[in-house]
Structure 1
Amino acid sequence: MERRKAALGSAAFFVLAPGGVAGLIPWLLTRWQAEEPLPFWLPLRVLGVVVLLAALAVLISAFVRFVAEGFGTPAPIAPPDRLVVGGLYRHVRNPMYLAVLSLIIGQALVLGQVILLAYAVVVSAAFVTMVRWHEEPALLRQFGDQYAAYRAAVPGWSPRLRPWRSHQSGNLR
């Protein structure tokens, strides 16, 4: 896929998917109204802001990586031509899902809305199910041994401290 089309498709998907899951639905659940569930909530609010900013940076970085390295989008209808294994993907296979979950958790902390923590649990279960039963088999079919080696070396949900080196390409991506 041409990079310009990949960038436009990724931007549209960014608004629809993470925007809906981590933006629209939390807003519908809370109207972004802050609560004070416990007297000592201020430090958790500060932590929530840090989590939100870091998660947004991770999410944007992952989307850019799909365009720059994969020549495609994260959207299932326009997948990348190449397996994306660079950047944060050297540490964890699912940085986008982790970032979206972190955005939800960050909002829960900032707003003091416990309902968002429950929503994060539901979203997490949906993500794990989708990855296990749809994405991983699809990536294995599309990229074969390259994906199998990557999957064996890089954890899906708990980031590794040292970046994975792709032995197939002979360099760090």
Structure 2
Amino acid sequence: MATIRPMEPTDLLRISATNLDHLTETYNIGFYLEYLTKWPELCQVIEGIDGEIQGYILGKLESSPYAPPITPYSPSTTGVQYPNYLPWHGHITALTVAPSARRLGHASALSSALERSSEAAEAWFVDLFVRASNEIAKELYRKMGYSVFRTVRDYYNDGEDALDMRKALGRDVRGETVREGGERWVVGAEEVW
């Protein structure tokens, strides 16, 4: 039986096995520590019965770095006039599970924990970026209720595109922060912060 618990700084010395996948983005230790300092409730690990870390999630709560261009914010009006404005939302920065612990529901459990925290903080949605070529991850996120909001050209350092995937939360009663056919909405990496 695995257990989800808050990530601790010492866990950073124990997550190497989870980062072995070529599709997992690995960051420097300062990056992880910044997340642990700013959003500790959104950084969690899943630990096996043997004490080994089998996966982790890094998340944050954020909005665009400027005030809403239309107050009060409404997805149906603000999003049309200002398509790159991001309201208060949760963001999955990293979600990874060790190859030996896959297909056990760990990714879903970690995502659900972050979604609950985002819901409690009155976020509009949770989003994440995934490599356009990562079919397994895209299918996993779709099963968890995420849909493609837009395609971001040249998002990754190697020039690969990303899909910006979102899942509306309870605050978005009418589901206006998500869209059908989001793959057709293409933006450049410079339009995403």
More helix by share: 1
TM-score w.r.t. the length of structure 2 is: 0.31
TM-score normalised by L of structure 1 = 0.34
Larger relative strand fraction: 2
